[in-house]
Amino acid sequence: MWQLYQFPLCPFSRKVRLLLSEKGIAYELWRENPWDQRDEFMRLNPAGRTPALHNTERDITLVDSRAICEYFEETVDKAPMINGTAANRAEIRRLVALFDENFFADVTGPLLHEKMKKRLFLRQPVDSRALREAMRMADAHLDYIDYLIDNRPWLAGATMSLADLAAAAQISVADYLGGIDWSDHEQARGWYSVFKSRPSFRPLLSERMDVIQPPSHYADVNA
Ligand SMILES: N[C@@H](CCC(=O)N[C@@H](CS)C(=O)NCC(=O)O)C(=O)O
């Protein structure tokens, strides 16, 4: 059995959970707070980051969400998430990088720093200017999703792909932290609400981080 070391608001762990669930791969959740730098976890992943995935029986450890997703894409045929022509696959990877890197740097990372890390670990006051800037950037990213969904049914093309999982994972964490204003983003909201009702997404939406509660619309599939 695979053991996924993660915490509920880690967007990279969420992407891996969505992929494992879509592909029908069983796993156990192991709660890991990477900032604690626990010895046992550091031995498993010297980079000290979540997600890390470990299979005791097979003695395999996988780290880094993209490496993990590619591993299962290469080894499990069900629900292909990086498929189509070489150009289609390049487009999927471009968008995965956009959400993993840019969306995280612009939106999810700053929100996690201000609203989770400062509150739970650093005990520092929130910087409201940084929060406003993260929300402004979220708006710009949602504009781009609106544009993509105006032109294609899913973010990277005709079928659901890893690009959709990467985007939905980041957006769900930003939404939990109150960083998303859905008004004026009908296309993005429609695309995201389809995700919210998928069986792979429901367990993520029902989890809560101690102390930090999401806004009321967060788990509402009709919102
Ligand atoms: N590129 C990595 C990023 C992983 C990452 O940044 N994880 C965060 C939590 S969401 C973390 O462990 N941060 C702790 C640290 O960087 O010390 C991936 O895709 O897995």
Q: Is the pLDDT of residue 23 over 90?
A: yes
CA of 12 to the centre of ligand 1 (A): 7
Please report which helix (H) or strand (E) contains residue 5, including its range: strand 2-6
Q: Is the pLDDT of residue 193 over 90?
A: yes
* Ligand 1 atom showing the smallest separation from residue 66 Cα: 19
Q: Is the pLDDT of residue 117 over 90?
A: yes
In angstroms, the CA 99 to CA 218 distance is 20
> Averaged over 78-97, what is the pLDDT?
98
How many of the other CB atoms lie within 10 Å of CB of 202?
13
pLDDT of residue 130: 97
Higher pLDDT, 171 or 122: 171
Q: Indicate which residue's Cα is closest to atom 2 of ligand 1.
A: 64
CA of 50 to the centre of ligand 1 (A): 5
Q: Indicate which residue's Cα is closest to atom 16 of ligand 1.
A: 49
Res. 222 pLDDT band, cuts 50 70 90: confident
Q: What integer best gives the mean pLDDT of the chain?
A: 96
pLDDT of residue 195: 87
Sign of CA dihedral 47, 50, 53, 56: positive
CB of 50 shorter than 6 A to ligand 1: yes
pLDDT of residue 6: 97
Question: Rounded to a whole number, what is the distance in angstroms from the first to the last CA of the chain?
Answer: 36
Picking from 157, 173, 28, the residue whose alpha carbon sits closest to that of residue 100 is 173
Residue with tokens 């997404």: 201
- Domains of the chain and any CATH numbers: 2-75 (3.40.30.10), 86-206 (1.20.1050.10)
Strand-pair category, 60-63 with 52-55 = antiparallel
Report pTM.
0.97
pLDDT of residue 154: 97
pLDDT tens across 34-82, in order? 999 999 999 999 999 999 999 999 999 999 999 999 999 999 999 999 9
CB of 109 shorter than 6 A to ligand 1: no
> Averaged over 188-205, what is the pLDDT?
94
> Averaged over 140-166, what is the pLDDT?
97
Residue with tokens 């990877």: 93
